[in-house]
Amino acid sequence: MAGHSKWANIKHRKGRQDAKKGRIFTRIGNEITIAVRDNGPDPDSNPRLRLALKVARLNSMPGDNISRAIKKGTGENGGTAFEEITFEGYAPNGIAIIVETLTDNRRRTVPNIRATFSKYGGNLGENGSVMWNFTRKGVITIKNDGKSEDELLELVLECGGEDLQYNDDSSSIICELNAFGEVNKYLDENDIIIEETQLEYVANELLTISTLNEAKQIMKFIEKMEELDDVQNVFTNFEIDDSIISELE
């Protein structure tokens, strides 16, 4: 049942770097806006907004930013017309990649994504070209808080999850989409420290990268993709072999 994603620690460090740059607030704000636009400003009846607000709190997003994003979604501030565009393709070395974007200007976003694929050794594919290798799941990253892997596996069963990606300091609980709300609720009610919670495309099978040069190529590609303002999330199907992890840190 337990899985060990060697990419997880790197992904979490990258997330903290994004937060320092301030882009994460823009991305969360856009998510709040589109959630409000689609299903209204009441988080009790809008699961997507409820999740976005939770992510905002986890990232210490200022209340004023949240308020502006909500007003933008209701049209009070002349709401911007956002659309979600998902791109599929391959990073260097044949790694499958899914890029989720949220944009108010398709004519800006599409060329930027296409250029990044081309410039950094990837290939932009057609819709469905790699999606078959992924399943949409809920992923909740929690602090281990001194718990062993066995103890966290018990927690996964108790909260209604289905899998665990264990790492030394923080671990991720994977669950089905229809259990996402209940799993979050259980963890909240049992004082489990949640670091991140979102819906992700989880790879059905992982490719292991064991060559340092290949790992650096892939990581540079992902970092450049994540630096684009319209990119919300990047999902891949690779893990890095333990033998070279220390050389990448």
Global model pTM greater than 0.75? yes
Do 185 and 143 lie in one domain? The reply is yes
**Residue that terminates a domain, selected from 49, 74, 99:** 74
Do 47 and 157 lie in one domain? The reply is no
CA proximity to 72, closest of 51, 54, 49, 45: 49
Which tokens is 109 given?
């976003």
Domain that holds residue 21: 14-74
How many domains does the chain fold into?
3
What is the block-wise mean pLDDT of the chain (249 residues), using blocks of 10 residues? 43 48 76 86 87 85 91 74 90 95 92 97 96 94 93 96 90 93 90 86 91 92 91 90 77
Asked if residue 117 is part of any domain, the answer here is yes
Do 138 and 159 lie in one domain? The reply is yes
Asked if residue 48 is part of any domain, the answer here is yes
Do 231 and 175 lie in one domain? The reply is no
CA proximity to 186, closest of 157, 226, 213: 157
CATH number, residue 157 = 3.30.70.980
CATH number, residue 55 = 1.10.10.200
Asked if residue 155 is part of any domain, the answer here is yes
pLDDT score, position 240: 86
Do 22 and 59 lie in one domain? The reply is yes
Do 139 and 128 lie in one domain? The reply is no
Do 144 and 190 lie in one domain? The reply is yes
Do 29 and 123 lie in one domain? The reply is no
pLDDT score, position 79: 56
CA distances (Å), origin 4, targets 1, 98, 163: 10, 21, 10
